[in-house]
Copies of this chain bind each other. A is one copy, B any other.
Amino acid sequence: MPGHLVVLSGGLDSTVCMALAAAETGSPPLALTFDYGQRHRVELDRAAGVAGHYGGEHLVVRLDTSAWGGSALTDPAIDVPAAGAGDGIPATYVPARNSIFLAVALGVAEARDLDAVWIGVNAVDYSGYPDCRPEFIEAFRGVARTGQKRGVEGNPVELRTPLIGCTKEAIVRLGVAHDAPLQLTWSCYLGGDRPCGTCDACELRARGFAAAGVADPALA
């Protein structure tokens, strides 16, 4: 089975994605993590923990998006809003974040001769980010087909999004079923010692665990 790559943030969704990829391929995927200047830097340690759990290579790519700003997650001048604070796309949206992640992931996959890139985006219980939706992923499949040597040769790097239609409840259940190390994950947008419990990410996560009837092991 050729190798796969998983975009791993250290959060719940990407960790469950890692578990699914490892189960399918039978070998540890390459874990790709971005240090993009996010304020919740504890994510990076958690990503390292999850990658270590699976035992494959962990590649951390640094790209400081705070150099151009535009997001509450990278710009100290913009506050992270409390959950449900507004309609539409929230202030935690990072311009082109998943485009950048997927472009780098496609490059790494091609350079390392890996057959698929997995990303844990989901468009059901999510924060309203446009770059988590099926139409965006489909557009990026077009990029893989047209913009890469492998695509031109008829063997594009595959983009896998197994969680895209899942509720948070379903993601928690999948993680439990696949023994994903959920106790190592971090979702909170703030970088405190403990999850804040009030941001969008904390609220979505809490609802998912509650609906699945599972205690969140990261809060133990």
Q: Report if A67 contacts B (CB, 8 A).
A: yes
Q: Of B63, B69, B140, B151, which contacts A143 at CB under 8 A?
A: B140
* Cβ contact within 8 Å between B107 and A96: yes
Report copies per complex. Answer: 2
Residues of B within 8 A of A138 (CB): 142, 146
* Cβ contact within 8 Å between B146 and A110: no
User: Would you call the interface of chain A mostly helix, strand, loop, or mixed?
Assistant: helix
* Cβ contact within 8 Å between A110 and B70: yes
Chain B residue at smallest Cβ distance from A104? B100
0/1 interface trace, chain A 104-132, chain B, CB 8 Å (1 if under):
10111011100000000000000000110
**In the complex, A102 Cα to B146 Cα: how many Å?**
14
Q: Report if A65 contacts B (CB, 8 A).
A: yes
Q: Of B103, B106, B111, B133, which contacts A146 at CB under 8 A?
A: B133
Chain B residue at smallest Cβ distance from A149? B89
Known contacts: A61-B67, A70-B110. The answer to whether A130 contacts B151 by CB under 8 A is yes
Q: Tell me how far the C-beta of A100 lies from the nearest C-beta in chain B, rounded to whole angstroms.
A: 4
Give the size range of A's interface with the partner: 35 or more
Q: Tell me how far the C-beta of A204 lies from the nearest C-beta in chain B, rounded to whole angstroms.
A: 19
Known contacts: A63-B61, A152-B89. The answer to whether A71 contacts B111 by CB under 8 A is yes
0/1 interface trace, chain A 21-39, chain B, CB 8 Å (1 if under):
0000000000000000000
**In the complex, A142 Cα to B67 Cα: how many Å?**
25
* Cβ contact within 8 Å between B147 and A130: yes
**In the complex, A162 Cα to B214 Cα: how many Å?**
56
Q: Tell me how far the C-beta of A90 lies from the nearest C-beta in chain B, rounded to whole angstroms.
A: 10
**Partner-B contacts on A (CB < 8 A):** 59, 61-63, 65, 67-71, 89, 93-100, 102-104, 106-108, 110-112, 130-131, 133, 135-136, 138-140, 142-143, 145-149, 151-152
Report, nearest first, the 10 A-B pairs whose CB atoms are least far apart: A70-B111, A96-B107, A139-B142, A99-B103, A95-B110, A131-B147, A136-B147, A95-B107, A103-B103, A136-B146
